[in-house]
Structure 1
Amino acid sequence: MANDAVAGNAIRVATARPGDGDDPVRAVLAAYTQDLITSLDDALATFLDAEVDSLAGIDAAMGDFAASARAAVMAGGKRIRPTFAYWGWRGAIGGNEPLAPVLPALAALELLHTFALVHDDVMDSSATRRGRPTVHVALAAQHVAAGHRGDPDRFGEAAAVLVGDLCMVWADRLLAHATVSPARLFEVRRCYDQMRVETIAGQYLDVLGENDAANWSVDRALRVARYKTASYTVQRPLLFGARLAGVPADAPLVSAYTRYGLAVGEAFQLRDDLLGVYGDPAATGKPAGDDLRSGKPTVLLMLARQLATRSQLRALERADAGPADRLAELVADTGAAARVERMIAERVGDALAALDAAPVDRTARTALTGLATAATNRRA
């Protein structure tokens, strides 16, 4: 693949919309995206085919199990985390270095993402993901179809946890395939490990918030967004890419990536909060309103409670008893949705300001500018 083709390929799959040709940034992104995504998918497919074949050699049932894990990885997705890692690397190293040596490391982030999604769906009892049955639901259906004994739902959840665990191990194994120096790979691994720790911390706080909503606040909800989403979606992938390029931890570029990544990552989660309530299920692949019905303490819901009148607050406290569309309307009436939109815009502005002063490759600057808007102003 030509390096200059990859160097402009960012996120067309996630951002293409009617009229993009009138927007110079989106036009640049649309001209470049697909080669990177295709390379990532090819690398994942080649790696996973070998892993599935290896596990099938243990037992035929293991082959079926591993194939379920493979399907979870390859079932669509925007490849956002590897894309940010790619631009973190390309922004530091410039446009002439070949992609192949670092491609396995970038693809490993998608395996890590699948681990997080599968476990998150089990914890949230989610029925769909990307418009398809979640892994635990699909595995429960396989249990029924095979005529096995026992509780199919319990089997599906247990097997899905193992699918997630397997994806985590696969991520480690694929990361080791990157052909960079051992010293550099050690630094990459340190960043990767910190990303995993922060993801688990954010996920635990998310679980805790659902069970301790009375002691939650907007600040704590933002902390969840920072560690559950911002860290492993944008900030750490950018720093991961910088480490792949050999950028030292105290470099100005690292500071710029850190500021940009935190701002865009938080805005990404805030957009998710809005899509979870107001998004079109046909676009998001998930039903709308689940967070409201469960009383999940997102930034949106915490702000709604903070801004609500007494009567609105009483209605919010009975959230699980009302229809989702009425609850969504109630949250909007408090002004919370508009406030979240402003928070997203403020964070995108901060991210772009961080880029302005960053010593980053010109093409990467253009891509990261477009990504800041595209990843936070999306429909799915």
Structure 2
Amino acid sequence: MTSPSDPIAAVSQRLASFVADETARWQGSGAETASFLTAAASAVDGGKRLRARFCLAGWEAVAHRTAPSAQPGADVIAAAAALEVFHAAALVHDDLIDNSDTRRGRPAAHRGLEAHHRGAGWAGDPVAFGRSGAILLGDLLVAWSDDLLEQGLTQAAHAAGAREVYALMRREVTVGQFLDIAEEAAFVTAPAADHAERALRVASLKSARYSVQHPLLLGARLAGADASQTAALSEFGHPLGLAFQLRDDVLGVFGDAAVTGKPSGDDLREGKRTVLIAYARERMTASAVVGFDALLGDTGLDDTQIADLQQTIIDTGALERVEQLIAGYTLEADAALQDAPLAATTIDTLRALARDATARTA
């Protein structure tokens, strides 16, 4: 059994036992169902467990203020595990929307299902099968995340508050994901001066809140957080979440494939309209913007073209501006911890998580 002093291992164990139970539930339902569940299990495997860590830190920041030796119970372990499953669902749908080929160094879910179709020699279009299957796979993972959360809340003292945070997170991610695809379609009609602000709005809803702020608040609510503690964690979590997403945007353009698990420059091939791209376009001439936009989103970009786009972004000062924005949001988050009504022993944990979330090689 896992030691209570190793809560992340306990989260991984909870995930493993849940997936095993679900797999057993469908035994005898045919090879096709088995392959679907295998894809679901693969989707939740791996990752840095960042959201689970923030959830546990939020719980600890409140619980350890009055009971320093308290250990997380089944409710917060299940909630942290549920966040990881919800994250897996979001990645499956995000990769499908972005037409990504890889995730964590492996084929993206829709590509894996496509390959399974081909390998089985089934009839029909394997690409269409992979895309349809990934939609349903993401839906299954969302249902799993709800199931896991509810299993943990069965006897939780603060279940209502936890459900409130989780429901808000789900709504905001969905709206943020839609705004993300809408931004790629609507940027031509939106004033260029508004592009960065619009991209930040997407970053806030689609990633910042569900990656950092809501996990913190979910854990804190399960520990019985009061209004001042909730406010302090929100004031820490939201700017840190924005810094995290901006770092992810930088890595999506300049990251090492061996570290990120996705090809370098993949966001350029996908045509993502991030703050980094908005800043770059602001400093270009009109003719340069036309040439830049003609390449952005071209799935066939070769390494030389990627390198040229990367250099253009650097030359416009966009990369430096985003780095400054990341630093500013990180400082804002850290300032929220000053005199916060949280367990003093947890402040170092929160700062360490902030460093991990905004690292240049994350």
- Normalising by structure 2, report the TM-score: 0.92
What is the identity, as a one-letter code, of the residue corresponding to 1:96?
S
**Do structure 1's residue 345 and structure 2's residue 316 form an aligned pair?**
no
Q: Encode CA deviations 1:145-195: one digit per residue, 9 max, x unaligned.
A: 100000001101111111111111111111112156466112101110000
Distance 2:91 2:19 in 1: 18
How far off is 1:378 after superposition? 3.6
Partner of 2:160: 186
What is the identity, as a one-letter code, of the residue corresponding to 1:206?
D
Contact (CA 8 Å) 2:276, 2:318: kept in 1 or not? yes
Contact (CA 8 Å) 1:56, 1:64: kept in 2 or not? no
**Do structure 1's residue 92 and structure 2's residue 62 form an aligned pair?**
yes
What is the identity, as a one-letter code, of the residue corresponding to 1:241?
G
Q: Which secondary structure does the structure 1 equivalent of 2:359 belong to?
A: coil
What is the identity, as a one-letter code, of the residue corresponding to 1:217?
H
Partner of 2:228: 252
Cα distance, 1:73–1:2 mapped onto 2, change above 3 Å: closer
**Do structure 1's residue 379 and structure 2's residue 361 form an aligned pair?**
yes
Partner of 1:234: 212
**Do structure 1's residue 287 and structure 2's residue 263 form an aligned pair?**
yes
What is the identity, as a one-letter code, of the residue corresponding to 1:97?
A
Distance 1:136 1:294 in 2: 16
What is the identity, as a one-letter code, of the residue corresponding to 1:47?
F
2:249 paired residue among 273, 291, 295: 273
Structure 1 portions without partners, runs of 5+: 6-34
How far off is 1:293 after superposition? 3.6
Contact (CA 8 Å) 2:99, 2:270: kept in 1 or not? no
Comparing 36-45 with 265-274, greater Cα deviation is found at: 36-45
What is the identity, as a one-letter code, of the residue corresponding to 1:374?
D
Distance 1:194 1:49 in 2: 29
Q: Encode CA deviations 1:29-87: one digit per residue, 9 max, x unaligned.
A: xxxxxx3332111110001101011123333321221121011111x100111110110
How far off is 1:2 after superposition? 4.9
**Do structure 1's residue 141 and structure 2's residue 112 form an aligned pair?**
no
Q: Which secondary structure does the structure 1 equivalent of 2:158 belong to?
A: helix
How far off is 1:377 after superposition? 1.4
What is the identity, as a one-letter code, of the residue corresponding to 2:331?
G
**Do structure 1's residue 324 and structure 2's residue 300 form an aligned pair?**
no
Cα distance, 1:294–1:173 mapped onto 2, change above 3 Å: closer
How far off is 1:352 after superposition? 0.5
Distance 1:297 1:47 in 2: 37
Distance 2:206 2:241 in 1: 10
Distance 1:297 1:344 in 2: 17
Equivalences for residues 359-370 of structure 1 within 5 A: 359-370=341-352
Cα distance, 1:98–1:113 mapped onto 2, change above 3 Å: same
Contact (CA 8 Å) 1:277, 1:290: kept in 2 or not? yes
Contact (CA 8 Å) 2:44, 2:88: kept in 1 or not? yes
**Do structure 1's residue 79 and structure 2's residue 49 form an aligned pair?**
yes
What is the identity, as a one-letter code, of the residue corresponding to 2:47?
G
Distance 2:61 2:3 in 1: 17
Partner of 1:220: 198
Cα distance, 1:36–1:182 mapped onto 2, change above 3 Å: closer
How far off is 1:291 after superposition? 2.5
What is the identity, as a one-letter code, of the residue corresponding to 2:280?
A
- Normalising by structure 1, report the TM-score: 0.87
What is the identity, as a one-letter code, of the residue corresponding to 1:288?
S
**Do structure 1's residue 106 and structure 2's residue 80 form an aligned pair?**
yes
What is the identity, as a one-letter code, of the residue corresponding to 2:20?
D
How far off is 1:295 after superposition? 3.4
Comparing 135-144 with 280-289, greater Cα deviation is found at: 280-289
Distance 1:186 1:243 in 2: 9
Distance 1:242 1:155 in 2: 41
2:28 paired residue among 45, 52, 57: 57
Structure 2 portions without partners, runs of 5+: none
Comparing 262-271 with 368-377, greater Cα deviation is found at: 368-377
